[in-house]
Structure 1
Amino acid sequence: MADITAKQMAQAAVHALEDKKGQDIDILYVDGLTILADYYILCTGQSTPQLRALADAVDEALAKLGRGPKHVEGYPSASWILQDYGEIVVHIFKKDAREFYGLERLWADAPSVDPASFEKK
């Protein structure tokens, strides 16, 4: 299997979130700001079942690229699901949890990437 870039992983995750009707998708390019990842992808879902469906869709999309999560948090309670794939970290929130934790404010120095720039193939 060819080497998969962080951008390709982020693209696959974003497309999976869009396909499952994830809302307010934000992509933060955090390379150089943290050693934890290159991209943080934030998304809002409306209900516990939708949050789980979004997380499952990301997992399936990245599995097709030969990548599995290194760590997952929050799947059982599903108000904030975190999926750590190394190069990318996906944060899937219910609206109130996203507003409360405010990751966009915490990572305000990170450039945003327009999801529309990730063309579907």
Structure 2
Amino acid sequence: MEITDIVQLIAEASDDRKAENIVALNMEELSSIADYFVICHGNNERQVQAIARSVQNALEKEDIRVYRLEGFEQARWVLVDTGDIVCHIFHKEERHYYNLERLWGDAARVELNIHGDQRLRNDLS
């Protein structure tokens, strides 16, 4: 599976649990932390945890190793780390505070093919 397919898989698993404003950033030229970031948010702690579980399960189903899952208990900012890709699942309040999209504003956005209702949810955020 190509890395961009894994990015897409993570986005779809997030969308399955109604994650909002799903964004993927190509970090290859900007950071040694990961090649890609996937960023999204949920509106409460239970939703953040459900998104993280969905991402983890989707990756494991494809035999993609999750090296770290951090922040799950607090569910304010959960990291799902595959090594090449880090998925940041925020609580809505933390997402606005940390604003990773602005921090990494030089990163190219990756086009995602997710369900049609995602655009509507993005517009309402």
Superposed displacement of residue 68, structure 1: 2.3
In the alignment of these two chains, the number of paired residues is 115
Which amino acid in the other structure matches residue 79 of structure 1?
Answer: R
After the TM superposition, list the runs of 4 or more consecutive aligned residues in structure 1 that deviate by more than 3 angstroms. none
Q: Which amino acid aligns with 2:99?
A: G
Tell me the residue number matched to 1:85: 82
Structure 2 counterparts to residues 1-121 of structure 1, below 5 A: 4-116=1-113
Identity score, percent: 37
CA distance in 1, matches of 2:22, 2:84: 18
Distance 2:59 2:96 in 1: 27
TM-score, normalising length: structure 1: 0.89
Unaligned runs of 5+ in 1: none
| TM superposition shift of 1:69 | 1.3
Letter in 1 for 2:46: P
What residue identity is the alignment partner of 2:37?
A: Y
Matches of 1:7 and 1:13 in 2, distance apart? 10
Q: CA RMSD in A?
A: 1.4
Please list every run of 5 or more consecutive structure 2 residues that lacks an aligned counterpart in the other structure.
116-125
TM norm structure 2? 0.86
